[in-house]
Amino acid sequence: MDKRLSDLLNLVVENHIKTAEPIGSRFLVEKCDLGRGEATVRNELRALEEGGYLTHPHTSAGRVPTEKGYREYLTSLDLNEAKLSAKDNEVLGMNVSVEMERENKLKTFAKIVAGLSGATTMLAFTPDKVYYTGLSNLFSQPEFSVLEHVADMSQIFDHCEECLGVFFDKTDSDVKYFLGEEHGFGNLLSVAAFRFGDESMFLLMGPMRMNYGRNYALMNKVKELI
């Protein structure tokens, strides 16, 4: 993909992440200072759609990223440059006491990250001992306004030990993203995960429309603190 289309795709993804709305050519021309007209941008959006990076909801003139679009967007990000704000760092550090028993400390980190990210976090102490928090964050997202999606996700969490057994070998000590079919927790989700200790794993799960840079920085900070 040439740079011009790549930059346009990134703008669509980033604005869709912020607004949860389809992004159209008029919005991009008016808000993003592209230096080219609406007709040209419309043609470029059409090219991205034909390439499978965007899709066109029937009820809207705008477009939203596909799983392929999010994957392409992720390849353009330098996630290691993602930094937490001073406030995020303070919240993560001040709420966890060094005197805490380890399991409670990890659960506290999971709760804090779920709150800061607006996502769901999961701790697998072993593949058979799982703790998760923040499900209401996930189900409050616009992507899950359809009851069937909520039912599908609920079933996945009811059987998360089976999913973790398959997913465990895909992860290592580095924070990595897995999208859609890569993780087994449902095609609507993106998952960031890392392993620690012998059998343990920390996961952040949210819709594909998530703040990838900030969530990556959150997960890296947790890895550093535990």
Which pLDDT score, from 0 to 100, does residue 156 have? 65
> Do 148 and 60 reside in the same domain of the chain?
no
Show the low-confidence residues of the chain (pLDDT under 50). none
Quick one: 180 and 113 in the same domain?
yes
**Domain housing 13:** 3-76
Distance from C-alpha of 14 to C-alpha of 209, rounded to nearest angstrom: 9
Compute the distance between CA of residue 14 and CA of residue 70 in angstroms, rounded to an integer: 10
Q: What is the pLDDT of residues 82-124, one digit of tens each?
A: 999 999 988 887 777 667 788 988 999 999 999 999 999 999 9
Amino acid, single-letter form, for residue 67: E
Residue 61: the pLDDT is 75
Q: Is the dihedral of CA 190, 195, 199, 202 positive or negative?
A: negative
76: nearest Cα among 175, 16, 3: 3
Say what the pLDDT of residue 166 is: 81
pLDDT of residue 165: 80
Is residue 56 domain-shared with residue 86, that is, in the same domain?
no
> Do residues 105 and 68 share a domain?
no
Q: Taking phi first (over 0 means left), then psi (-120 to 50 degrees means alpha), and beta for anything else, what does residue 53 get?
A: alpha
Last residue of a domain, one of 47, 76, 105: 76
CATH number of the domain within which 206 lies: 3.30.450.40
Residues 60 and 125 in one domain: no
Nearest to 170 by CA among 195, 151, 187, 134: 195
Question: Which token pair is 144?
Answer: 């899950």
72/86 same-domain check = no
Helix (H) or strand (E) holding 16: helix 3-19
For residues 102 and 174, membership in a common domain is answered with yes
Q: What is the pLDDT at residue 8?
A: 96
Same domain, 62 and 141: no
Domain count, the chain: 2
Please report the pLDDT score of residue 185 as a whole number: 86
At 131 the pLDDT is 93
Q: Tell me the β-bridge partners of 121.
A: 133, 204
CATH code of the domain containing 70: 1.10.10.10
End of a domain among 76, 104, 126? Answer: 76
Looking at residue 155, its pLDDT comes to: 60
Residues 184 and 150 in one domain: yes
Instruction: Specify whether 144 is located in the same domain as 218.
Output: yes
Tokens of 21: 């709305």
Last residue of a domain, one of 20, 50, 76: 76
- Tell me: do 71 and 88 sit in the same domain: no
How many whole angstroms separate alpha carbon 8 and alpha carbon 143? 23
**pTM higher than 0.75 for the full model?**
yes
CB 184 within 8 Å of CB 167:
yes
Do residue 99 and residue 201 come from a single domain?
A: yes
